[in-house]
Amino acid sequence: MKPDFEKGNGLIPAIVQDVKTKDVLMLAYVNEEAYERMLTTKETYFYSRSRQELWHKGETSGHFQYIQGMYLDCDEDTLLILVEQVGAACHTGAYSCFFQEVIPYIFEKNIFHEVYDVIADRQVHPIEKSYTNYLLEQGVDKICKKVGEEASETIIAAKNNNQEELIGEISDLFYHVLVLMYQQGIQVEDIEEKLRERHQISGNKKEFHQRGDY
């Protein structure tokens, strides 16, 4: 199945979406040559209407988009491209081109996403005496050491049968694991996806499988 380029005088719009976060990153236009190059290279190519030339996303910025899936709409004149985004999608340096609010949408992320976003923001916008910045500057050895310490303290709190202390220690452990995830380039969505992958339904019983049941 091929896009109908004749409808748009040789150009069709392409919506680019982050395959992990599901955020809409940008909208650009594609001609037949750009489309064929995307099929061949599995990277995004577009046609610039202002410059009237083909352009390879990331060629100058290094912010490449690696195509994970591509879909045509029902009229075969619009593309949806799912990508793994490197860096920022927008030429302004923003993650997505759609950051100017007209009618704000209030989306409540779960706390793990919120904390992860704060950690990521500290990397881009450091704050003096920030503990998160301190950990990121020290690197993986320091972060892993703290994860180990918090895991041990969690065990001690559980053995002490102190629920309030245990909640605090588990919270500390989760925070340090999130710092480690960010430092290693792992997103919360990666963990969610892996857990869903392992999650299976057996009759009315929900089970997890990893080298057998657990």
pLDDT band of residue 200 (cuts 50, 70, 90) is low
**Distance (Å, whole) CA 3 – CA 11:** 10
Element containing residue 47 per DSSP (H, E): strand 45-48
CB 142 within 8 A of CB 179: no
Taking residues 62-88, what's their average pLDDT? 95
91-141 tens-digit pLDDT: 998 889 998 889 887 766 789 988 999 999 999 899 999 999 999 999 999
3-58 tens-digit pLDDT: 999 988 899 999 999 998 888 999 999 999 999 999 999 999 999 999 999 999 99
**Distance (Å, whole) CA 134 – CA 136:** 6
**Could you give the domains of the chain?**
5-85 (3.10.20.810), 111-199 (1.10.287.1080)
Taking residues 181-188, what's their average pLDDT? 94
CB 31 within 8 A of CB 55: no
Q: In this prediction, what percent of the chain has a pLDDT beyond 70? A: 91
Could you tell me where the DSSP H helices lie in the chain?
A: 32-41, 111-124, 131-138, 140-159, 163-183, 188-198
Above 60 in pLDDT, residue 157?
yes
pTM for this structure? 0.55
Taking residues 56-73, what's their average pLDDT? 95
